[in-house]
Amino acid sequence: MHHFRAFAKINLYLAVLGRRPGGYHEIDTAMQSVTLADELLCEPLPGGGLAVECSAPGVPAGRGNLVWQALALLQDRGRVRDGLRVRLEKHIPTQAGLGGGSADAACALVAANRIWGLGLAPEELEGLAAEIGSDVPFFVRGGTRRCRGRGERTEALEPLPRSVWAIVKPEYGLSTADVYARVKTGLTAREAETRMLLGCLAKRDLAGAVARMFNDLESAAMSVRPEAGEVKAWMLSLGMTGVTLAGSGSAWCGLCPEGLPVDRARREAGERGWRMQWVKSAEQGWAEVRE
């Protein structure tokens, strides 16, 4: 049995630049892996079949899961006769903007590449990942990376200094399609803000980068669910900084200062029906667990 963890992501910034042919949007974003993770338990199947099991409600098993699709693609391109059974244990909430499904797919590519002994380089895996979903390539390596195009073109940035973040997920989810359908592009130039934030990341200036975090999807998300803004306001009231929407939501992330009233935060989040988790920045998008 091979055990892997697939890490979630947050967005240090997300600029929506315009609409591409085919309905996708052109984006420019910096993604950061964090230690909130799904678990993939992988067992070789010599007969060549694929099996993906997941007990989480609302998450498809079998062919409907991105993990199965990733494995089938790698099996086909690598002309692999062996198979794999994956038991997926979900901890990353869905419809949160944290990239859980994409992280699982990328981790499955990495895991199968190792288990099947294919020896594919990260660049080759990223090429396959781009066929599965726009942000799947990021998770092949993860860490701190700038992603452009639909999100599929990635480049490494200086690793973010080790930091602790809060992720707050309200009880409702947000559909990526619904949020992007309401985003307004071309109203605000983000080039200067992006350049300054990237400059801070290059210098590993955490405070400077956090002070400049933004997400162009926030207003669109709040037009879908006006109460989403309550989460941000509450996090700011506790002294968190850089509070921004994760992807298209519905989760929010914020850097935790020293002295954060943890007990109060946990109590108040629970009273509101919100799921609150503390995570650390991670240097890659997955980890193999040696047991």
CA distance 137 to 218: 24
pLDDT number for residue 18: 78
Of 107, 104, 125, 99, whose CA–CA distance to 60 is shortest? Answer: 104
Name the packing angle between helices 100-115 and 122-132 (round to 10°).
140
pLDDT number for residue 186: 60
Residue 264, Cβ neighbours under 10 Å: how many?
10
Torsion over CA: 149, 155, 157, 163 (sign) = positive
How many percent of the chain have pLDDT more than 70? 97
pLDDT number for residue 102: 97
pLDDT tens for each residue of the chain, 291 residues long = 999 999 999 999 999 987 766 667 889 999 999 999 999 999 999 888 999 999 888 888 889 999 999 999 999 988 888 999 999 999 999 999 999 999 999 999 999 999 999 999 999 999 999 999 989 999 999 999 999 998 889 999 999 999 999 999 999 999 999 999 998 776 456 889 999 999 999 999 999 999 999 999 999 999 999 999 999 999 999 999 999 999 999 999 999 988 888 899 999 999 999 999 999 999 999 999 986
Of 252, 257, 281, whose CA–CA distance to 32 is shortest? Answer: 281
Per residue in 61-79, pLDDT (tens digit) is 889 999 999 999 999 988 8
38 with 88: CB under 8 angstroms?
A: yes
pLDDT number for residue 23: 66
> DSSP characters for the chain?
-EEEEEEEEEEEEEEEEEEPTTS-EEEEEEEEEEEEEEEEEEEEETT--EEEEE-STT---GGGSHHHHHHHHHHHHTT---EEEEEEE--SPSSSSS-HHHHHHHHHHHHHHHHTT----HHHHHHHHHHH-TTHHHHHH-SEEEEEETTTEEEE-PPPPP-EEEEEE-SS---HHHHHHH---SSS--HHHHHHHHHHHHTT-HHHHHHT-EETTHHHHHHH-TTHHHHHHHHHHTT-EEEEE-TTSS-EEEEPPTT--HHHHHHHHHHHT-EEEEEEB-SSSEEEE--
Burial classification of residue 23, based on how many CB atoms lie within 10 Å of its CB (0-12 exposed, 13-18 middle, 19 or more buried): exposed
286-289 and 50-54 beta bridge pairing: unpaired
Residue 172, Cβ neighbours under 10 Å: how many?
13
Number of domains in the chain: 1
pLDDT number for residue 189: 63
CATH number, residue 212: 3.30.230.10
Range of the domain at 136: 1-291
pLDDT number for residue 285: 97
First to last CA, the chain: 10
pLDDT number for residue 67: 97
Per residue in 183-223, pLDDT (tens digit) is 877 645 688 999 999 999 999 999 999 999 999 999 999 99
Give buried/exposed letters for 131-146 (b at 16+ CB in 10 A, else e).
ebbbbbbbbbbbbbbb
252-255 and 241-245 beta bridge pairing: antiparallel
Catalytic residue numbers, as ranges:
9, 135
